[in-house]
Structure formats: structure tokens, C-alpha cells
Amino acid sequence: MKHIFQIVVVSVLAALFALPAQAAKYQEMEVADGGSISGQVTYTGKVKMRTVLPTKDKDVCGKARKEPTILVGEGGAVQDAVVYIKEIASGKAWPEMARPVINNVDCIFEPRVQVAKRGKVDILNSDPVLHNSHGYYGKATAFNVALPFKDAKVTKILKRNGVVRTDCDAHGWMLGWVVVVPNPYHMQTGADGNFMIDNVPPGDYTLVVWQESVGETEIPISVQAGATTDASVQLN
């Protein structure tokens, strides 16, 4: 009896510990009768500006200026929003994704916003001044690299999914973002604010729309075989 009890306890513990790991691991499979999710990300509120005030290396970093905290184009279209399915256990194969690069150019992170898969990231300095790129998952450091001279390059690993904010410890106004997505069902919006995510297995999901100043907006969606679900969202 005691023996059986031990087996049950061990099995229950094993199942408990295995669950989160399985939930995090995305399985690639053949998708039959997939549906699509499409829409547009818009914003009609007042666009807040932030002040960029270079206090040193001004010959490289430029003058004081203001920049929008959200890129809004015609009809309220939001650029550089990242749209992805929050949780999906299995589905289409990951596409070929180039290794992400965080480039320091004129004291600006290029690109400002990008999407990546867990794995390596190259951090580059294209400026003749010291940058110290410091990435965070929330408050936890993701990487912290000094790039003392032009063409310095360091490769780091983005170990988990989530939003990585990059600051520069040398230039407090610098700001960049890498959204490490959990599955291949994602898209970063361009100037038209549109997104299109295809080959989704039919089912109910939560769509996440992330934008750097708004944060995450979650939308419940239902995908039907061979159909397109409209998931247009107005951020506020």
C-alpha cells in the first residue's frame, strides 16, 4: 500500500512539473483546413510625445527632439504593433527567421521594434562612441553588454518568450524592443497597420496585440476552417 502511494505521489508530481514545460513547447504539425486571422491595428487617441534629450556624444546622437510614443498613420493605422496568438500547442512550421540584430546607429536602436524566436541575438555598435545595451524582461536582465567602439559586436541568447526592452546605460534616452514570440503565428504591422496570420488550426484563441506605449491588448478570437476571422483592434 505504501509503495502504491509513493508511485501515485511521484506520478502526480511528475505531471505537475511536466505541464508548464509542455505548455511552453510548441509542436510543429501539418495543418489541414486552417483558417486565417486578419485585421488592422488602429489608434485614434491623442499621440503622446516623448522628449529625447541627448546629454552627451551630441555630434553622434544629435540634438534634442520629440518623438511619438506610437506611430500612427493614415486612418489611425498603427505601425510596429506586434500581433500574435498567445497560446497554441501545435500548428504550422516556423518560417525561416533571420537572427535578430539590435544595431546602435546614431544613438538609436535599429530596428526600434522587431519580432524574434527564442535564440541568438546580435548586438552591434555602428557608432564611434561607447554604448552599453541592456535588455530586460520586465525588471530581469536579459543581456547587458558594453560595446566600446565602432563595429563591436556581441552575440547573446534570448532564453525565453516575452517582451525584451533594450535601454542603453550610456544614453538614457535610447529605447528598443524585441518581442520574443512563442509560436509562428505572429506579425509586426507596417505603415498600413494591417496584419494577416494564416494556416491557423480551427479553434478558440487569445490574440495579443502589443504596442510599446500601450502594452498588451488581448482579444478572444475564434478561427474556423477555411475562413478568415476579422480581429481588427482599436488601441486606447
Binding mask 127-166 toward Cu ion (x if CB under 5 A, else -) reads ----x-----------------------------------
Residue 233 binding Cu ion, by CB under 5 A: no
Residue 115 binding Cu ion, by CB under 5 A: no
Smallest separation (angstroms) from Cu ion to the CB of 165: 14
Residue 223 binding Cu ion, by CB under 5 A: no
Residue 170 binding Cu ion, by CB under 5 A: yes
The answer to whether the beta carbons of residues 175 and 167 sit under 8 Å apart is yes
Out of 52, 124, 158, 168, the only residue in the binding site for Cu ion (CB under 5 A) is 168
Backbone phi and psi for residue 22, each to the nearest 5 degrees, phi listed first:
-70, -40
What does the buried/exposed string (b/e) look like for 89-122 if buried means 16 or more CB atoms within 10 Å of the residue's CB?
eebbeeeeeeebebbbeebbbebbbbbbbeeebe
Q: Output 108 or 233, the one with its CB closest to Cu ion.
A: 108
Smallest separation (angstroms) from Cu ion to the CB of 70: 23
For 8, the 3-state DSSP assignment is helix
Pairing of strands 35-43, 27-28: unpaired
Residue 117 binding Cu ion, by CB under 5 A: no
Smallest separation (angstroms) from Cu ion to the CB of 51: 17
The answer to whether the beta carbons of residues 161 and 183 sit under 8 Å apart is no
Is residue 3 left, alpha or beta, with left meaning phi > 0 and alpha meaning psi from -120 to 50? alpha
Which positions lie near Cu ion, rule CB under 5 A?
131, 168, 170-171
